[in-house]
């Protein structure tokens, strides 16, 4: 029973994520809000392309400048 509950919780969290694309960059998070050129991402944030993956608790992506400001626990991986 505990295993079924865990699988259900993981499925609900995975389906609640929002994904969007800006050029070759993919932004995935639980919540995304746009304020002009800045996209605010909150919860299980992943920003990636073919060269790099940034994971964070929260991040702001500026679509005009390409800058990322990541907050909380942050991990960066070169692919």
- The token pair at 44 is 């299980």
Query: How far does Cα 59 stand from its chain's mean position?
Result: 8
pLDDT score, position 64: 96
Rounded to whole angstroms, the Cα distance separating 19 from 28 reads 4
Give the confidence band of 22 by pLDDT, cuts at 50, 70, 90.
Answer: confident
This prediction's pTM? 0.78
Rounded to whole angstroms, the Cα distance separating 62 from 12 reads 29
Rounded to whole angstroms, the Cα distance separating 42 from 78 reads 22
For residues 21-34, average pLDDT: 96
Do you know the residue count of the chain? Answer: 79
Residue-wise pLDDT for 30-58, tens only, equals: 999 999 999 999 999 999 999 999 999 99
* Residues 37 and 62: beta-carbon distance below 8 Å: yes
Domain residues of the chain, as ranges?
18-78
């Amino acid at each position: 029973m505990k295993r079924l509950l865990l699988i259900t919780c993981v499925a609900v969290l995975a389906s609640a994520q929002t994904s969007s694309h800006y050029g070759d960059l993919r932004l995935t998070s639980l919540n995304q809000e746009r304020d002009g050129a800045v996209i605010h991402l909150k919860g299980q944030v992943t920003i990636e392309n073919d060269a790099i993956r940034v994971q964070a608790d929260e991040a702001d992506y500026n679509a005009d400048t390409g800058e990322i400001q990541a907050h909380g626990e942050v991990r960066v991986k070169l692919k």
